[in-house]
């Protein structure tokens, strides 16, 4: 399945980048992370028993990524692919999980996962408003609740503590334009930050045109004695075509085409408001609390290869979610030891109302809103209680243990086609965590960790399609992870190594032999294990990073036992460099290698694997200081590699019945340029 990848070209690019960053002097840096459900007290990353990556605002600006998926794709252990086909709405996951529903994602402490299916639209989060991102890997339901089998992502937004503004305009290949504005200021105890951005493109293939508008506003009020009250507002308006995948022969002929999905699209309005408080109470007690509301209104049209025979399907959905968490911390410090006890309560209530319409084969883009094919609502309520204790018997040792109880209630109400399909289920889980860190010396630290997680079935898996694949008797997936990590400084850089194993039971899979037309069952056990390496360093004004991971994800039950889980690349590696090249110019380059993958829907591992690929990005900027005008030009996929991020083995509905099966590939864009100017004031 050739996609234009060349190991020779990768080697040349590697040598070209590697020679820029020589070994530097000793580097010492203290990095703080979120160690509990809500950010409260700052915790040194070396005291947290987990593999954790922190991406700062400075790194975000240097890389110039347009979405969080593109930014995070360079990190260790990541799985990213494009199922929709427009290079924007990408699926993101970690450590051999591939559905995009195995992560708990928080923005300023508020959960942003969809309550219906635990998915997250990372592209809707304004990049301009992000101050820092923390990735914590491993099963973590004891901290975050359900849907944290692969880990947690904490996103912290910017404040207006440094007054100033920015205006930026850029244009490039495929009619792409980007406009950005920012403004930050403070007055006494009050600070605020505003940002807005527009991204628009004509698309790198048919039906990939579209645009997205993203806005953010935040205000912080220092109420005295280290107490902070803060409000954050986020808004996104996305409209993009969804061209889907191409047959392998179509891809070879013209990867820029969209043979059948010329009408498919997504229009989504997403908004959220979060109110946070953090600060000390009486004595040794401190409080962290939030109250959050999130709303999404989305319309999608799906036609595809079978539209001439079956028409299409139009879905109009509205989701509203309220959530709140209250966390109290009691911290003590004795002679040579410290103890931090955290207790918290969390509640979430989400409702989704969906109306679906079949569109006719003669005009698959036409929607008759007076004749719905489905109309239903889903309610999910989550209540949770958690406790965590961290004990430091000495400056070198830290011991952590935690427990969380979650109760999830799902209710499904259907008006069309059959009210008899109404149903409800309740799930309860107790999740545990434990870990230890040891600071061997000033340059070496070690951690071991155990964590548990669970993922409740979605309403589609439970109720929404009773004759096709739903199964109201499904149980949640359960996973357990163990990890051994090592971090330290050597050769003038900070390196981190982690080895992990995650065992999942009751994994939900589709069994075509069950029920009338097949159904979802708790039939799968899987094991994901691997090795991750990260390194960051600098040599004077030159900075560099390198990440690598090896993942072995296997099925452990059924006729496909021992086979590789689809869409999990065994090998991934990324690296980059930031180097001043004189006269105010700075060069940033990064490369990403992704190894072969088993095709989606090929648990038998019978088909040829999706080919490996390598992508090199480069960005050159010029400025005369922190303020004033900055010019930049960047090349994405600078080597113009032809590759696909996702492949699937499936029925071709455009062929006569019984349908042929074929390999379908989702093309990625070739070389593209973007040039622009920004004014910082």
| CATH number of the domain enclosing 424 | 2.40.170.20
382 within 8 A of 410, measured Cβ to Cβ: no
Mean pLDDT of the chain: 93
Least confidently predicted of 37-46, 431-440, 596-605 = 37-46
* Exposure b/e, 253-289, CB count within 10 A at least 16 = b: eebbbbbbbbbbbbebbbbbbbbbbbbeeeeeebbbb
Decide if 1 is inside a domain. no
Residue 8 has pLDDT above 50, yes or no: no
CA-nearest of 676, 586, 654 to 623 is 586
pLDDT at 1: 67
Helix (H) or strand (E) holding 116: none
CA-nearest of 672, 587, 616 to 15 is 616
Three-state secondary structure call for residue 135: strand
Least confidently predicted of 4-18, 84-98, 504-518, 603-617 = 4-18
- Report the pLDDT averaged over residues 235-255: 97
Least confidently predicted of 135-144, 459-468, 603-612 = 459-468
Which pLDDT tens digit goes with each residue over 613-653? 999 999 999 998 889 999 999 999 999 999 999 999 999 99
Integer Rg of the chain from CA: 25
Give dist(CA 495, CA 548) in Å, integer: 11
| Beta-bridge mates of residue 359 | 312
pLDDT at 540: 85
- Report the pLDDT averaged over residues 244-251: 96
Q: Is the dihedral of CA 659, 651, 463, 510 positive or negative?
A: positive
Give dist(CA 29, CA 24) in Å, integer: 14
- Report the pLDDT averaged over residues 118-138: 96
Counting residues of the chain whose pLDDT is more than 90, the rounded percentage is 85
Three-state secondary structure call for residue 194: strand
Residue 9 has pLDDT above 80, yes or no: no
Q: How far is CA 175 from CA 209, 406, 642, in A?
A: 9, 48, 20
pLDDT at 409: 97
Helix (H) or strand (E) holding 463: none
CA-nearest of 207, 237, 266 to 89 is 266
Kindly write down the DSSP assignment for every residue of 390-454, as one continuous string: EEESSSSEEEEEEEEEEEEEEEEEEEES-GGG-EEEEEEEEEEEEEEEEEEETTEEEEEEEEEEE
The residue count for the chain: 681
pLDDT at 402: 98
184 within 8 A of 60, measured Cβ to Cβ: no
User: Using CA atoms in the order 28, 30, 31, 33, what is the torsion angle rounded to 10 degrees?
Assistant: 150
Decide if 281 is inside a domain. yes
Decide if 2 is inside a domain. no
pLDDT band at 21 (very low <50, low <70, confident <90, very high): very low
Decide if 82 is inside a domain. yes
Helix (H) or strand (E) holding 657: none
Higher pLDDT, 510 or 101: 101
Three-state secondary structure call for residue 162: coil
**Domain range holding 580?**
7-680
Give dist(CA 31, CA 24) in Å, integer: 19
Residue 6 has pLDDT above 60, yes or no: no
104 within 8 A of 455, measured Cβ to Cβ: no
Residue 22 has pLDDT above 70, yes or no: no
Residue 67, classified by CB atoms within 10 Å of its CB into exposed (0-12), middle (13-18) or buried (19+), is buried
Decide if 414 is inside a domain. yes
Report the number of distinct structural domains present in the chain. Answer: 1
pLDDT band at 29 (very low <50, low <70, confident <90, very high): low
Counting residues of the chain whose pLDDT is more than 70, the rounded percentage is 95
Residue 25 has pLDDT above 60, yes or no: no
Phi-psi region of 6 (alpha: psi -120 to 50; beta: other; left: phi over 0): beta
Residue 336 has pLDDT above 80, yes or no: no
- Report the pLDDT averaged over residues 384-402: 96
- Report the pLDDT averaged over residues 320-349: 93
Cβ atoms within 10 A of the Cβ of 627, count? 12
pLDDT at 512: 73
646 within 8 A of 83, measured Cβ to Cβ: yes
649 within 8 A of 610, measured Cβ to Cβ: no
Give dist(CA 126, CA 366) in Å, integer: 33
Residue 4 has pLDDT above 50, yes or no: no
Cβ atoms within 10 A of the Cβ of 168, count? 18
pLDDT band at 544 (very low <50, low <70, confident <90, very high): very high
């Amino acid at each position: 399945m050739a996609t234009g990848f060349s190991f020779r070209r990768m080697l040349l690019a590697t040598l070209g980048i590697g020679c820029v960053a020589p070994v530097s002097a000793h580097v010492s840096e203290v990095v703080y992370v979120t160690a509990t459900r809500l950010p409260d007290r700052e915790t040194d990353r070396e005291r947290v028993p987990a593999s954790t990556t922190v991406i700062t605002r400075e790194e975000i600006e240097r890389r110039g990524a347009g979405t969080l998926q593109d930014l995070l794709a360079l990190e260790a252990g990541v799985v990213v692919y494009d199922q929709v086909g427009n290079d924007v709405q990408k699926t993101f996951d970690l450590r051999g999980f591939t559905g995009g529903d195995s992560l708990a994602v928080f923005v300023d402490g508020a959960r942003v996962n969809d309550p219906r299916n635990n998915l997250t639209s990372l592209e809707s989060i304004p990049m301009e408003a992000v101050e820092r991102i923390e990735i914590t890997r491993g099963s973590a339901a004891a901290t975050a609740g359900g849907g944290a089998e692969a880990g947690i992502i904490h996103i912290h937004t910017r404040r207006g503590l440094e007054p100033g503004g920015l205006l930026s305009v850029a244009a490039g290949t495929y009619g792409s334009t980007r406009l950005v504005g920012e403004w930050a200021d403070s007055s006494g105890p009050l600070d605020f930050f505003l940002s807005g951005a527009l991204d628009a493109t004509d698309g790198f293939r048919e039906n990939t045109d579209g645009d997205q508008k993203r806005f953010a506003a935040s205000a912080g009020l220092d109420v005295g004695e280290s107490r902070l009250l803060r409000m954050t507002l986020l808004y996104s308006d996305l409209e993009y075509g969804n061209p889907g995948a191409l047959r392998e022969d179509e891809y070879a002929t013209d990867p820029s085409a969209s043979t059948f999905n010329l009408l498919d699209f997504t229009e989504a309005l997403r908004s959220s408001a979060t109110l946070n408080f953090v600060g000390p109470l009486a004595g040794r007690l401190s409080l962290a609390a939030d109250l959050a509301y999130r709303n999404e209104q989305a319309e999608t049209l799906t036609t595809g290869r079978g539209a001439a025979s079956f028409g299409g399907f139009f879905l109009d959905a509205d989701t509203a979610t309220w959530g709140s968490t209250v966390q109290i911390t009691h911290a003590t410090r004795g002679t040579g030891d410290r103890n931090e006890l955290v207790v918290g309560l969390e509640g979430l209530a989400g409702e989704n109302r969906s109306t679906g319409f079949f569109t006719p084969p003669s005009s698959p883009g036409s929607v008759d809103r007076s004749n719905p094919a489905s109309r239903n609502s889903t309610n999910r309520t989550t209540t949770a209680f958690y406790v965590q204790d961290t004990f430091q018997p000495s400056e070198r040792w830290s011991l952590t243990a935690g427990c969380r109880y979650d109760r999830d209630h799902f209710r499904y109400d259907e008006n069309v086609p059959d009210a008899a399909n109404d149903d409800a289920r309740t799930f309860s889980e107790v999740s545990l965590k434990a870990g230890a860190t040891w600071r061997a010396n000033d340059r070496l630290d070690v951690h071991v960790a155990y964590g548990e997680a669970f993922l409740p079935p979605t309403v589609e898996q439970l109720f929404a399609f009773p004759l096709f694949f739903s199964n109201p008797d499904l149980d949640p997936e359960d996973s357990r992870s163990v990890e051994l990590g090592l971090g330290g400084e050597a050769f003038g850089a900070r390196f981190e190594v982690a080895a992990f194993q995650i065992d999942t039971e009751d994994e939900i899979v589709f069994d075509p032999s069950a029920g009338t037309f097949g159904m979802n069952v708790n039939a799968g056990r899987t094991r994901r294990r691997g090795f991750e390496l990260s390194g960051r360093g600098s040599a004077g004004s030159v900075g560099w990073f390198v990440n690598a991971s090896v993942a072995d994800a296997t099925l452990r039950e059924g006729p496909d036992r021992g086979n590789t889980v689809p869409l999990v690349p065994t090998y991934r590696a990324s690296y980059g460099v930031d180097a001043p090249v004189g006269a105010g110019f700075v060069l940033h380059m990064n490369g990403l290698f992704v190894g072969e993958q088993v095709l989606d829907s090929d648990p038998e591992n019978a088909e040829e694997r999706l080919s490996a690929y390598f992508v090199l990005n480069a960005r050159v900027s010029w400025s005369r200081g922190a303020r004033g005008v900055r010019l930049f030009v960047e090349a994405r996929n600078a080597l113009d590699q032809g590759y696909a991020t996702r492949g699937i083995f499936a029925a071709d509905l455009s062929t006569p019945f019984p349908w042929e099966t074929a390999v379908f590939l989702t093309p990625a864009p070739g070389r593209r340029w973007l040039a622009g100017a920004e004014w910082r004031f």
